[in-house]
């Protein structure tokens, strides 16, 4: 039996309307990410990277096409079902807003595990050590530096050992040392059999990835 891709986008279209103007954010975008792959998604600002990630995560619904998650359709399902499957199988690292401001780092991680029904105190300790935040576990987001926020956000995204990590510019605002640490964590995700699709402008991350996909004007270049 053939194992399906961890995630697959099939001919996605997404349009946004402001007044009489129309922005075609995705124009028939298709891709597959297999288990054990770290795929870099590159393209200029405004090319559709963030919109694609939001559709893949089930945070946004495409106007056409569909998304398959581990062989099952995610698109056009009730929000409660999408949320349940997202919590169980997808780790999401956005450019900002990855942590609830009222919760400490450790409680943000616990919350994500709770949503996936995968509480594991030992994993929490390992994650905090891996991202170098053991001594900041009780800090709230407003008390963290930019690099610490990026690392804490990744710990939250990986809290439930997701089948795939969807990350939007995770190294865009961090120094070289923090970027290297994040790459180590992405590699650990791959070695554990997980996958990742990472939208990035980083030359280091692109060179390190298993594969590179380019998106331009909402279309993915398969050449």
Residue 68 falls inside a structural domain: no
Tokens 């650990």 correspond to 188
Q: In what order do the strands lie in the sheet with 72-73?
A: 21-33, 7-18, 64-69, 72-73
Contacts 24+ apart (CB under 8 A), 176-182: 178/147, 178/150, 178/151, 179/204, 179/205, 181/131, 181/132, 181/151, 182/150, 182/151, 182/154
Residue 8 falls inside a structural domain: no
Closest CA relative to residue 83, chosen from 116, 51, 106: 116
Question: What's the structural domain count of the chain?
Answer: 1
* pLDDT for position 73: 95
DSSP 8-class letter at 183:
H
Cα 145 to chain centroid distance, Å, stands at 21
Q: What is the extent of the structural domain holding 132?
A: 36-61+77-221
Residue 9 falls inside a structural domain: no
The reported pTM is 0.92
* pLDDT for position 111: 92
User: What CA–CA distance (Å, rounded) separates 113 from 109?
Assistant: 6
DSSP 8-class letter at 3:
P
Residue 102 falls inside a structural domain: yes
Question: Which uninterrupted H or E stretch holds 198?
Answer: strand 195-199
User: What CA–CA distance (Å, rounded) separates 50 from 159?
Assistant: 22
* pLDDT for position 223: 54
Residue 163 falls inside a structural domain: yes
CATH number, domain of 155, equals: 3.40.50.300
Q: What are φ and ψ of residue 58, in 5° steps? A: 75, 15
Three-point CA angle 169, 58, 223, nearest 5°: 60
Q: In what order do the strands lie in the sheet with 195-199?
A: 90-93, 164-168, 195-199, 38-42, 211-216, 219-221
Q: What are the pLDDT digits (tens) for 2-35?
A: 789 999 999 999 998 887 788 889 999 999 999 9
Residue 216 falls inside a structural domain: yes
Spans in the chain with pLDDT lower than 50: none
* pLDDT for position 222: 65
Residue 106 falls inside a structural domain: yes
Residue 10 falls inside a structural domain: no
């Amino acid at each position: 039996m053939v194992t399906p891709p961890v995630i697959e986008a099939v001919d996605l279209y997404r349009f946004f309307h402001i007044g009489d103007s129309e922005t075609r954010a995705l124009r028939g975008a298709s891709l597959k990410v297999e288990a054990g792959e770290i795929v870099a998604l590159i393209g200029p600002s405004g090319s559709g990277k963030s919109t694609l990630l939001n559709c893949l995560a089930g945070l946004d619904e495409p106007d056409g096409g569909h998304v398959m998650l581990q062989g099952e359709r995610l698109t056009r399902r009730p929000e409660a079902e999408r949320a349940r499957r997202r919590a169980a199988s997808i780790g999401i690292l956005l450019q900002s807003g990855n942590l609830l401001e009222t919760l400490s780092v450790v409680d943000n991680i616990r919350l994500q595990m709770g949503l996936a029904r995968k509480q594991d105190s030992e994993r929490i300790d390992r994650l905090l050590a891996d991202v170098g935040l053991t001594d900041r576990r009780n800090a709230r987001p407003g008390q963290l530096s930019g690099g610490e926020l990026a690392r804490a956000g990744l710990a939250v995204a990986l809290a439930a050992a997701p089948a795939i990590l969807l990350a939007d510019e995770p190294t865009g605002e961090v120094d070289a040392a923090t970027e290297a640490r994040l790459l180590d964590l992405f590699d650990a995700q791959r070695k554990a059999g997980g996958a990742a699709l990472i939208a990035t402008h980083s030359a280091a991350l692109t060179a390190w990835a298993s594969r590179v996909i380019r998106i331009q004007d909402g279309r993915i270049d398969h050449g």
